[in-house]
Structure formats: C-alpha cells, structure tokens
Chain A
C-alpha cells in the first residue's frame, strides 16, 4: 500500500519496483478567459501510484485544469512539477512525451478502424504499416495481460460496447507510455457492471504503479476507489483531503459551499386516472435500426414513472416520439382518452396543446437557445400563446413580468432577464427550462436527464420541484441514466435495453443490483 500525505507533500514509498509511476504537483496554476477566471492559484499534489479524485460542480474549473495538464491550454501563471522537476507542458504531444495520458469523456476513436489501427493512429512507426503493426500488437498483448485490459484487437470500434471502447482509450494512452492517466467522467456512459469492471482495471493499474487522476461528480465513486481527493469550487481548490478521512456529505458541502440534503423526502403518492398509455410502440431510426420494439406502458395522474437504462437503448427515441419531435410509426398512444395512430399529424405544437410539457434531455441544444436572452428562452415553445403576445407582435413587457415571477419562484440565478442564457450555469439553465414547462401547468411532463451537468445545489431544488408537481396531480415520465435519481424519485420503474422494456419494478423496492442486471440485459437471458 502507499502512504498518502497530501498536504505535507512527503515522498511516498511505492512498494512496486517493477514500474515506478510519477507524482505530479501543480503550484498556483491560474487561467483566465477574458474576465472569467477559470482557475485561480490552484495547487494540488498527486502522489505516485495512487488514484486521486477531483470533484467539483460544473464550471468549478476541473476540465480547464486537466486541459492545462494535458497541454491544451497554456496557464497564465503557476507551474507544474513532475517527480519534483518543473516541466513546461506546451502541447498534447509534449504532455504525452512526459508520460501523461488522457481519456476524454467523449472518446477520440475512429469508429471504422480496428482497435489496433486506433492505437496505432499517430504512432504508426515506419512507412510500412506492417512492421509497426507487429511491434504494437506485441506491446498491446503485454499491456492487456498485465492490466487485465481484455479487448479483441482486430474488431472494429463501432462493433464494441462503450465499456470496451473505453478500454481502447486506456490502452492507447498506456501504449504511448503513460505513467499518469487522467480520466474525465469515465463512468457517465457505463452500466453499473461496466463501472465495476473499469474500477478493477484502474486498481490493477494503480497496483502496477500508474498514477491515476479521476475527474467525476459522483461522490460514491470517489469514496470507493480513490486515496485522496481535491475539491474544486469557483476555480479554486477548496480542500485536499484523504478519502479515508472524509464522507460524501462533507465533500458535497465543500463542493457547494453549504450543507446539502442528499436524500429526498417523498410524500406518499396519490395516484389517479391513467392519462398516458402507450401500446406496442415500434420505431425504426433513420439508419433503419429498430430503436423501439413493442414498448407498452402507462402513467397515471400524480405518478412518476422512471425509465432506467444505459444511454442509447431507446429512451431518447421514446421521448422524441411522445413529445412530437418524431412521427409515430407503429403502435398507439392514448392521451386523456384521445387516441393517436400512425399517420396522424403529430408535432410538438400539437403535443403542447394537449397539455404535455417536455424538458428535453439536451437542454443546451434543444431546451434552450443559448445565445437568446433569458426572457426570450422563457417562452420557447409557447411563443404563439396569447398570454405573451398582442397580434403579430410579442408583448415584451408581459414576458419580462412573467420571467421575473417565475425566476423568483424557481430560483433561477441570476434573475436578470436580459443576459444570454449561455451565461447561466447548467443548473440554472435547467431550472429555467423546468420553470417554463411547469409554468404551462401540464397534465403530463416528459423529462429527460433532469440533472445531467447540474450542480448538486440545483439538483436538490429540481427534485423538490418535480415532487411538488407530481403532488399537484401531474403525471411525470422521468428518463435518466442516473440510477440513484430514478430510484429516489420514481413510484414505478421500467428498464429499457436495446429498445425493449426488459423489466418493471416498484420504486420503493428497487435495488441497484437488480436494476443493473436488467439494464445490461442479463436478467432476461438468465
């Protein structure tokens, strides 16, 4: 085991002589973008051969810091020390040559290349590919057996599941001699089972001496796998802690800057009549893939139905069809006794008229028009409603008044109606969308990934708003990849895998293990 002395910065004794990792230290790193300070005098030390977590809310400066470390940004001040020596990381190439590897949140792989070709990319060796292939193949085999990174080197990336693709990214970094591995939100796309697999790999890397920096917003992961953790808030490091000496509650508090309620209190649901019934929904994507297969369910007034599943298993398409963005191809939707069949006109406008509100999964691309002012965004989708207009013209005063009211009610900050929404934090953007949709007093609310990219402080608030809406009798369809969220909010949970509903359970007695099994499709085959 390694000993960790973060704040004192003593040397650590790594008990693995075979491969000695590097320690890395940042001293007073500062990075400005115009008048925005993204990193202010950030200092932290990562000991060799440890897993070091960095947590912080969106916009706390984690990504900026890692991009500096990887040579993508040039810091305005401060210095980086590698094994005690000052280094100048001017470019990603330099960073790689120093032994720093990065696994981005969104993979940097060529889908139509094989694993081997992807690893070789930018590292082809000689003019003839054959020779390089051979040496790299040998090296890969060695790496994969050493660290338990099992992948078929000759399969195409697009045929591999996400978890495997991530392994390729890690292999790519190791192949280039990474002694320090930075992982940016690595579990966001993984099933619970895949996450467990990843952590096993990370632990074995650590045991062989590789230093790992793990950026995440999931406190549970920090507690599970790291030795030390740095908490960032507002561009600064507010705490360097040993994981053993801290708790999720403390970390959350440090991240947000105040006490945070991590568990939600639910009132008993008063479930009424069925308002939305979906029967045998089938859908072919534009590429001709069966994205939905015989999906049937229903929701009632005052009920939250959670849809769990790994991203990309048909949940997005389900939301798109229900919200009118995609046409209904096969199956039947019944809303408040109105039946909708394929071929009938069906669009978001009509959906809104039927008192269905929609908080889309991607609020930045869909739910908001980022360059628009807040007040303009507060009517997106409702721009033709009489209460906002007079004749052809929009009534700016009415809209401003309404915005001021709802911003107050839903705690959108800053309250200024005349700033662009891209200046709001993720959480406040989400509150703005949610406020707009709830303001329309819907009978049914469709909501996707309500807390993706949202800071803990705002999550709390959003959950409260959703529960209050449910208590007022609205039926809510909640799609999320965060199991914790699904479990703590839903009255009932359905699980989707490869376009099918593979399981249903009551919210009160669901467990993560059980849901995880269903999500990965194991439950049915067993």
Chain B
C-alpha cells in the first residue's frame, strides 16, 4: 500500500514536510545550544539572512535558480525511474557549452545573439553528457547510477584538462577563461532595476531565475500533458507495462536522459552567464548533487521543486549569514545544519507518517468503512 493512500493530500504534502522541517530545526537547535549559542537567535539570523537583509533575497533566489534546474533534471529522470546522479557533471559540461560559444563568438557577433546561443549551448552540451549514460543504459544495460557517477568524474577531469591546458587565459594563475565580452550574459536584476531608476541591493540574482520558472512550466506540460510524458511516466511506473503498451523503451530512456542532462546543463547559464561571466573551475559547487535532494523533497513536481529549491536556497544563503554572525558557528556547522534538514525532509520523509496517521484518525476523523 502507498503511504499517501491513508492521509488527505494537505496532510501528506503540506503538514508532514512542515513537521519534518520543524524537527530538523529542533535538532539543529540542540546542536547550536551545545556549542553555546542561542538557537532561536541563530534561526532568526538564518531567516533574516535568507529573506530580510539587503540583497539576501537576491542571493536566495540565485541559489534557488540553480536548484530548480538541477532538481528538474533529477525529477524528469525519476519519472522514468532513472536515477540520474550525473546532474553535477552535466551542469559542468553544460558550462563548457556556454564557454565555447561565448569564447568563439563574442568578438564577432551581436552579444544578445551570443547569449541566446550560449543558453542553447549549455542545454545541448548537458544533454550530450546525459545521453551517453542513457544510451549505455538503454542499449547495453550499464546501470545508469554507475555510469552517471563515472561521468561526473570524467566531466571534472575533462574540464580540468581544458581549463588548465587549453582555454585558460594566458598568464593567469587560476584555471579560468578570459572574461566574456561586455554585453554577453544574462542581466542581473539589480542592474536591470538600476536601468529603470530603482535602486536595489547588489546580488547575483539574474534573469535565469525567470527562465527557470518558464522551464518549470514547460516541465509540467511535458510530463503531464504530452504523449511523450505519458510514455515516460508509464515507463517509470512499470517497464513491463510500457513494453506491453508498445513504448520504445530504449528510445524513451535516451530521450529522457537527453532532456534531463539539458536541464542540468542550464545550471551553467545561471552561474556563468548570470554571475561569473567566464568559465571557471568547479563552478557547479555540488548544486547537481543537491538537485537530488531537491527533487526528492519536491516529489518530482515542478511546484514542489520550486518550493524545495527555495528552501535550499534559503538554507544556503541563511547559512552563509550564520557564518557571518556567529564566530562559533563555522561553515562546517552550517553544513551540518543543512545536512540535518536534508536528512529529515529527504531521507526520513516518511518517518512521521505512521505517527501523524494515528493522531489524525484518532482525533480528527472517524474511519470510513471501505
């Protein structure tokens, strides 16, 4: 039996995640208490740090953008029961797509056009990096978990080689390319606001956030409204049924991994076109991996993914603020708190179900006779 069979929707997708979150905060609070800080104050700082201080919302939404792309990538693959752990590598190679397009064209053609092409480049390169494991799974039966993990390593090595030896800006210590030329890139919101005479705090928040929202809507249409989405979900629930239904399983797997990789690749537009304006080593910083937790927590639905991305964005940004505010809360501590929240709302997501179920039925509802 499916857990959610017993409880109404608002409880299973609203109340329980909320309780999980409270639990995580509670346990984090205990930890903070033991290192000698005031837990309430710390949480207040986190919340303010994520939403209140100048520029903080911008940072939160900037992280959110990364998580939306990475989360959608993982979620699409999940719908086909494929565990794409390669979001990190796909995002990284997506960055190569951005970099190559910009470096090759930014001197010669219109920068707006370069930006558009770079966005496409990120998706195409990411898709390419997803297709290979997809193909190996579909045609050779190599397990996608293994291959995508390996492709993360391959992506990292490839990028190191290219950035250190090929596309590094000469005479530069850090393995980075030269800056993309002025005008190439996705405009940051504070600059946009300045242009209209509104002054808002500087942050890396840029229009790729809105691209992420549009892509989320497209994701919903794709999965729940198209023939392809229908076949993807069929495959995800039951491969035997999918075969019975005449669905070309291999083709569907390869396509799903292409789109999934493409979505992950889009992380690069936020990072490279929106913020750094050059291709640099390690810009993915684990966002691809966090995407797995985001998708899990968001129940693979765009709205859920948006909300969990926002939560993770707030955690990242609020956590940074904790590090600023308390000298005793180090970045390792922040990592621990973030880990606790992932643990409670991801891995232990169903832990509270039996308990809530009991309370719900004992105090709120008389059972119906089935």
Contact = CB atoms under 8 A, between A and B. Distances in A.
A367 interface: yes
A362 B238 CA distance: 12
B230 A347 contact: no
A475 to B, nearest CB: 20
Interface string B355-370: 0010001000101111
Nearest to B366: A35
Interface stretch (A204-212, A375-383, A511-519): A375-383
Contact of B367 (A37, A347, A367): A37
Interface residues of B, number: 30
Interface string A316-360: 000000011100000000000000000000011111100000101
A350 B247 CA distance: 11
Interface stretch (B1-9, B66-74, B158-166, B204-212): B1-9
Contacts of A384: 227, 246
Nearest to B230: A383
A348 B370 CA distance: 37
Interface in B184-228: 221, 225-228
A186 interface: no
A32 B227 contact: no
B139 interface: no
Interface string B1-40: 1100111000000000000000000000000000000000
Contact of A365 (B231, B238, B365): B238
Contacts of A194: none
Contacts of B243: 325, 348
Instruction: Choose among B5, B6, B241 the residue with the greatest number of A CB atoms under 10 Å from its CB.
Output: B241
A63 to B, nearest CB: 13
Contacts of A371: 2, 237
A366 B234 CA distance: 10
Given A383-B231, A422-B2, A35 B370 contact: yes
B110 interface: no
Interface in A143-167: none
A347 B7 contact: no
Interface stretch (A10-18, A19-27, A390-398): A390-398
Contacts of B238: 365-366, 369-370
Nearest to B228: A392
Contacts of A367: 241, 244
A372 B225 contact: no
A394 B225 contact: yes
Contact of A348 (B2, B244, B365): B244
Given A380-B234, A392-B226, A34 B7 contact: yes
A35 B244 contact: no
B233 interface: yes
A314 interface: no
Given A383-B227, A383-B231, A365 B246 contact: no
Nearest to B8: A35
B142 interface: no
A35 B365 contact: yes
B370 A235 contact: yes
A384 B225 CA distance: 13
Interface residues of A, number: 42
A36 B228 CA distance: 35
A35 B225 contact: no
A33 interface: yes
B44 interface: no
Contacts of B231: 383
A422 B6 CA distance: 13
A5 interface: no
B107 interface: no
A368 interface: yes
B351 interface: no
B104 interface: no
Nearest to B225: A393
A156 to B, nearest CB: 29
A367 B357 CA distance: 32
A32 B244 contact: no
Contacts of A349: 246, 248
B245 interface: yes
A482 interface: no
Interface in B322-357: 357
Instruction: Choose among A351, A376, A392 the residue with the greatest number of B CB atoms under 10 Å from its CB.
Output: A392
A350 B231 CA distance: 17
Interface of A: 32-37, 40, 234-235, 323-325, 347-352, 358, 360, 362, 365-372, 376, 379-381, 383-384, 389, 392-394, 396, 422-423
The 8 A-B residue pairs with the shortest CB-CB distance, nearest first, are A34-B6, A349-B246, A348-B246, A36-B370, A381-B245, A35-B367, A366-B244, A369-B237
24 contacts: A34-B367, A35-B367, A35-B368, A235-B370, A323-B244, A325-B244, A348-B244, A362-B240, A366-B240, A367-B244, A368-B241, A369-B233, A369-B237, A369-B241, A370-B238, A372-B233, A376-B230, A379-B230, A380-B241, A381-B245, A383-B245, A384-B246, A394-B225, A423-B5
